[in-house]
Amino acid sequence: MNELLQHLPADAAQRRPDEPALVMGGRRLTYGELESASNRLAFLLRAHGLHRGDRVAVLMPKSPEAVVSFLGILKADCTYVPVDPASPPARVAKIIASCQSRWILAGGKDPSTLDKLIEDGPRGPLRIAWISPEPCLGKTFVPAFGIDDLELCPDGPHPCRNTSDYPAHILFTSGSTGTPKGVVITHANVLHFVEWAMRYFKMGPSDRNSGHSPLHFDLSTFDIYGTLATGAQLHMVPPELNFLPNKLAEFIRSSELTQWFSAPSVLNLMAKFDVARPGDFPTLKRLLWCGEVFPTPALIHWMKRLPHAKFTNLYGPTEATIASSYYTLPHCPQNERAAIPIGSACAGEALLVLDDDLRPTPPGQTGWLYIRGVGLSPGYWQDPEKTAAAFVSSPHLPDPAARLYKTGDLAKIGDDGLFYYLGRADSQIKCRGHRIELGEIEAAMNAVAQVRECAVVAIDAGGLEGTMICCAYVPAAGSSLTPVALRETLRAALPAYMLPARWKAFDGLPQNANGKTDRKKLKEVFETGRYEP
Ligand code: AMP
């Protein structure tokens, strides 16, 4: 494979230059405009002295210009690093220092992160370009160039020296030590997934795909490159809609989306607010989720509302690029407690369930989930130690030299030959000697009709108390659910030792930057008794 990600839109740009590629908030960028703007940006980046292999941070809100920036950086033979502009400046500074980026492509209405970054940080050779239609209101910097300068540049294509095994982007995920870890993703990593997905989902130019995930989250790379590879339209979802389930539903309707792809929590929220009528979103062909367990009751809700759509669970960590396995539901589950498999490996990948000695476990037995194959990242940016700890090989496998990624997830192979995700080892706890999966308590909670959303976390209560199970929940609208009543209901589903000791009702569960339930924050809430949304 020698194609590069930036070549994906070229075909549509040549054949259908006036068709929209990116749509957001009433703005649209056609394939022709996307191609020429990214060519011009590559020209400018090179003219400003960027070299092959340089890392370039992109610190701007989700927007067509962010995608132009990604492609322009790739066309300059460089590697982009998408950074969440809502992150605290200190975290942004850590990421920029870690990837040794000398350039930031910035934009948007609020330059305060950038201002603070420059005020606080070592200025060094950091240079900023303002790739945004909004005026630059930054107080601490003068951009090296702005979006208007693109117009003055030649818009022809550039010869590239990179090959597909070259880093396309570095995605920073939260690191247990407090410093974000940079997962290096090559062109080939993304291309393999996109090629599999195009075939499997039969994606084509008439598709109108959602762009829901934030651009620093790896699901968004499928939104972008899956769309551009097929000459389809990417409808970028404004992040503020995340908290407005009715508006989100209206977005899907009015954009006439054919594909929705997100983490499950937003689908949960929409389900709980019951924002879709039966047969709603008539153009939607597929609903895909990844990144978290989609509670079966919410899945059933959606499958009943949208009988015309196909529902696919995609599973995978950032380190194995977007997703490594898939499962399309053959029919709506009958039972709200049914476990939905993560399915089988995507083409070119393999899932393995291994024991502590890296030997395969027999079907039905729980083990550690490892991933092998074409999606595997070369490792963490300039961190051989963490890379060696997470990317291993096993002498007990037929190919003892093959690289495996240790996901840290627990899994089993079911009687049906499919893989089942069984939770994180770190959400398995011991409470008064009993071994408990917090996911099991959540599943029982999710089956209670008066519960809209829930998350169960374990805290160390110290002393004789030991580990304490804490349950955060959002009651359904109009329900006057009390912890006492909940506990009584759960008693019918769980042994007494699994019943949470502490309860707290929320208006909505806190979410992290990736749109997942923020369990770290929930633990803090239970530990300190304080909550500031
Ligand atoms: P991230 O790197 O943010 O994508 O997180 C990867 C982790 O999310 C995996 O190791 C799993 O723990 C979890 N995950 C990803 N996809 C799924 C899924 N479909 N079902 C359950 N958990 C998932």
Structure confidence by residue, pLDDT tens digits, 5-64? 999 999 999 999 999 999 999 899 999 999 999 999 999 999 999 999 999 999 999 999
Determine the pLDDT at residue 168: 98
Query: Could you tell me the two tokens for 59?
Result: 């610190």
* Structure-derived torsion over alpha carbons of residues 287, 289, 295, 297, reported in degrees to the nearest 10: 0
Q: Which of 421, 438, 516 to mutate to test the pocket of ligand 1 (most atoms within 8 A of CB)?
A: 421
If you measure from the C-alpha of residue 464 to the centroid of ligand 1, how many angstroms do you get, rounded to a whole number?
Answer: 34
Q: What is the mean pLDDT of residues 361-387?
A: 96
Determine the pLDDT at residue 435: 54
Determine the pLDDT at residue 495: 76
Determine the pLDDT at residue 496: 80
Residue type, position 329, single letter: L
Q: Given a cut of 50, is residue 464 above it in pLDDT?
A: no
Distance CA 272, CA 381 (A): 40
Residue type, position 453, single letter: E
Q: Is the CB of 406 under 6 A from ligand 1?
A: no
Query: Could you tell me the two tokens for 109?
Result: 């209405």
Q: Given a cut of 90, is residue 92 above it in pLDDT?
A: no
CATH class of 5-236: alpha beta
Closest ligand 1 atom to 408 CA: 10
Q: Given a cut of 80, is residue 180 above it in pLDDT?
A: no
Closest ligand 1 atom to 421 CA: 21
| Exposure class string for 357-373: b at 16+ Cβ within 10 A, else e | ebebbeeeebbbbbbbb
Q: Is the CB of 290 under 6 A from ligand 1?
A: yes
- Top mean-pLDDT range of 181-190, 257-266, 474-483, 493-502: 181-190
If you measure from the C-alpha of residue 322 to the centroid of ligand 1, how many angstroms do you get, rounded to a whole number?
Answer: 10
If you measure from the C-alpha of residue 219 to the centroid of ligand 1, how many angstroms do you get, rounded to a whole number?
Answer: 11
Closest ligand 1 atom to 318 CA: 2
Q: Which of 369, 406, 409 to mutate to test the pocket of ligand 1 (most atoms within 8 A of CB)?
A: 409
Q: Given a cut of 70, is residue 442 above it in pLDDT?
A: yes
Q: What's the mean pLDDT when you consider all of the chain? A: 92
Q: What is the mean pLDDT of residues 69-96?
A: 92
Q: Given a cut of 80, is residue 2 above it in pLDDT?
A: no
Q: Is the CB of 409 under 6 A from ligand 1?
A: yes
Distance CA 24, CA 62 (A): 9
Q: Which CATH superfamily is domain 428-528 in?
A: ANL, C-terminal domain (3.30.300.30)
The residue whose C-alpha atom lies closest to atom 22 belonging to ligand 1 is: 292
Q: Given a cut of 80, is residue 426 above it in pLDDT?
A: no
Closest ligand 1 atom to 424 CA: 12
Distance CA 69, CA 29 (A): 13
- Whether 428-528 and 5-236 are alike in CATH topology: the answer is no
Q: Is the CB of 448 under 6 A from ligand 1?
A: no
Lowest mean pLDDT segment, chosen from 114-128, 207-221, 333-347, 467-481: 114-128
Determine the pLDDT at residue 430: 63
Q: Is the CB of 293 under 6 A from ligand 1?
A: yes
Q: Is the CB of 527 under 6 A from ligand 1?
A: no
CA 450 to chain centre: 29
Determine the pLDDT at residue 433: 54
Q: What is the mean pLDDT of residues 280-288?
A: 98
CA distance from start to end of the chain: 47
Nearest Cα to Cα of residue 223 among 493, 516, 21: 21
Distance CA 189, CA 509 (A): 34
Determine the pLDDT at residue 345: 98
Q: Is the CB of 213 under 6 A from ligand 1?
A: no
Q: Is the CB of 292 under 6 A from ligand 1?
A: yes
Phi, psi dihedral angles at 51 (to 5 degrees): -110, 160
Nearest Cα to Cα of residue 369 among 395, 387, 390: 390
- The pTM score is 0.84
If you measure from the C-alpha of residue 354 to the centroid of ligand 1, how many angstroms do you get, rounded to a whole number?
Answer: 18
Nearest Cα to Cα of residue 314 among 452, 434, 457, 218: 218
Domain ranges (residues) in the chain: 5-236, 428-528
DSSP β-ladder status, 208-211 and 451-460 = unpaired
Kindly state the percentage of the chain with pLDDT values over 70: 95
Q: Which burial class, exposed, middle or buried, applies to 106 when counting CB atoms under 10 A from its CB (0-12, 13-18, 19+)?
A: buried
Bridge partner list, 30: 20
Nearest Cα to Cα of residue 213 among 48, 102, 82, 109: 82
Q: Is the CB of 170 under 6 A from ligand 1?
A: no
Residue 129, helix vs strand vs coil = strand
Report in angstroms the alpha-carbon separations of 386 from 167, 401, 402.
18, 19, 18
Q: Given a cut of 90, is residue 289 above it in pLDDT?
A: yes
If you measure from the C-alpha of residue 397 to the centroid of ligand 1, how many angstroms do you get, rounded to a whole number?
Answer: 25
Residue 492, helix vs strand vs coil = coil
